[in-house]
């Protein structure tokens, strides 16, 4: 079973323990929002798992190393993601070496390290993966890939080779991959294909846990989480949709009657709204406290259905 955590705004932190399998923290928010830090400290006291992110996606670069080490030691999370660099294999490995030399080896040994397999090509991802396998307890994969990788993938996309159906669903319509697939869904498909290739080629250390960092769309999410070694994923997708008053459509998560499709290939795109946009927003400000929370709970349940999990 793949554990799921949905990042939430401040106003929803306490309620998130009802639907999150573990708690996912962003380090850059700790200093500005003491109540945010205290929530995760309390989660750990309750015996819950807490994964601490270096906030690369939110900041554009990994959080300051010395301050990061201080927060890790103070919080004592279950896991933390070591500093990495978007799409840069050499840069990520250099950051990892610096981190381990100056901070990583001095932190408590029971705090588990997560390394991200960054790279601008499949070969780079393999190279970074193999390095992270030597120093980390868990390895993560990003949700967004270098534009060059997307172009090459699109130009060489052959579904007979992938042994995959040619259709999926978006907005209640059956879409043909070779005619209509957009770059957002292609990103999601590419992550699945990379995971599959890593698995088939024997690169994956199946004795180790792996994490999926966010998502571009829910396309191929079910397939990506079917690998026994993918043990966790984080995404704010169903939360943000709920805050916007948007409900996951039933037809986007239930494909029993669509014979041509892989069940699970629904495509709910990443919203243009970000967690940052909503972080301080309160339900009361929208005047829809009950309605929007009910939509969020519904979306979370539908998200789990995509993974064939109990809602």
> Is residue 311 assigned to a domain?
no
pLDDT exceeds cutoff 80 at 112: yes
Per residue in 17-76, pLDDT tens?
999 999 999 999 999 999 999 999 999 999 999 999 999 999 999 999 999 999 999 999
Angle value at C-alpha 168, between 167 and 170, nearest 5 degrees:
135
Smallest Cα–Cα separation from 2: which of 228, 213, 278, 201?
Answer: 228
Q: How does residue 162 score in pLDDT terms, banded at 50, 70 and 90?
A: low
Distance CA 217, CA 237 (A): 9
Strand-strand pairing, 167-170 and 138-141: unpaired
* Structural domain of 113: 3-306
Lowest mean pLDDT among 94-98, 139-143, 244-248: 244-248
Residue linked to tokens 């919080």 = 75
pLDDT value at residue 260:
35
Higher pLDDT, 27 or 243: 27
> Is residue 203 assigned to a domain?
yes
Among 146-160, 267-281, 291-305, the range with the most confident prediction by mean pLDDT is 291-305
Contact 142, 128 (CB under 8 A): no
Domain total in the chain: 1
pLDDT exceeds cutoff 80 at 164: no
> Is residue 35 assigned to a domain?
yes
> Is residue 239 assigned to a domain?
yes
Distance CA 146, CA 148 (A): 5
Neighbours of 290 (CB within 10 A): 8
pLDDT value at residue 169:
56
pLDDT value at residue 253:
40
Q: Where are the alpha helices (DSSP H) in the chain?
A: 13-19, 34-45, 56-59, 65-75, 89-102, 122-135, 147-155, 159-162, 177-180, 183-200, 221-224, 237-243, 275-278, 283-286, 289-306
Contact 196, 207 (CB under 8 A): no
User: What's the length of the chain?
Assistant: 311
Task: Give the CATH number of the domain where residue 259 resides.
Answer: 3.20.20
Neighbours of 231 (CB within 10 A): 16
């Amino acid at each position: 079973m793949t554990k799921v955590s949905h990042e939430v705004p401040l106003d929803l932190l306490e309620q998130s323990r009802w639907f999150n399998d573990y708690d996912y923290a962003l380090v850059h928010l700790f200093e500005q929002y003491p109540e945010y830090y205290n929530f995760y400290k309390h989660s750990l006291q309750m015996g819950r798992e807490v994964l601490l992110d270096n906030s690369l996606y939110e900041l554009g670069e990994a959080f300051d190393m010395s301050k990061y080490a201080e927060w890790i030691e103070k919080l004592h999370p279950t896991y933390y993601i070591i500093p990495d660099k978007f799409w840069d294999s050499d840069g990520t490995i250099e950051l990892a070496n610096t981190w381990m030399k100056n901070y990583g080896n001095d932190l408590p040994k029971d705090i588990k390290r997560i390394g991200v397999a960054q790279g601008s090509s499949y070969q780079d991802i393999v190279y970074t993966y193999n390095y992270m396998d030597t120093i980390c307890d868990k390895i993560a994969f990003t949700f967004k890939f270098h534009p060059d990788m997307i172009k090459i993938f699109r130009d060489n996309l052959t579904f007979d080779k992938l042994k995959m159906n040619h259709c999926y669903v978006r907005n209640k319509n059956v879409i043909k991959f070779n005619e209509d697939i957009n770059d957002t869904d292609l990103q999601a498909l590419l992550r699945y294909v990379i995971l599959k290739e890593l698995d088939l080629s024997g690169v994956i250390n199946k004795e180790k846990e792996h994490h999926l960092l966010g998502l571009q769309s829910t396309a191929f999410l079910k397939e990506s989480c079917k690998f026994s070694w993918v043990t966790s994923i984080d995404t704010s997708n169903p939360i943000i949709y709920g805050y916007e008053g948007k409900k996951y459509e039933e037809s986007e998560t239930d494909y029993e009657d669509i014979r041509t499709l892989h069940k699970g290939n629904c495509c709910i795109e990443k919203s243009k709204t970000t967690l940052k946009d909503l972080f301080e927003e309160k339900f009361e400000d929208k005047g829809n406290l009950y309605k929007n929370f009910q939509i969020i709970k519904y979306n979370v349940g539908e998200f789990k259905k995509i993974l064939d999990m109990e809602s």
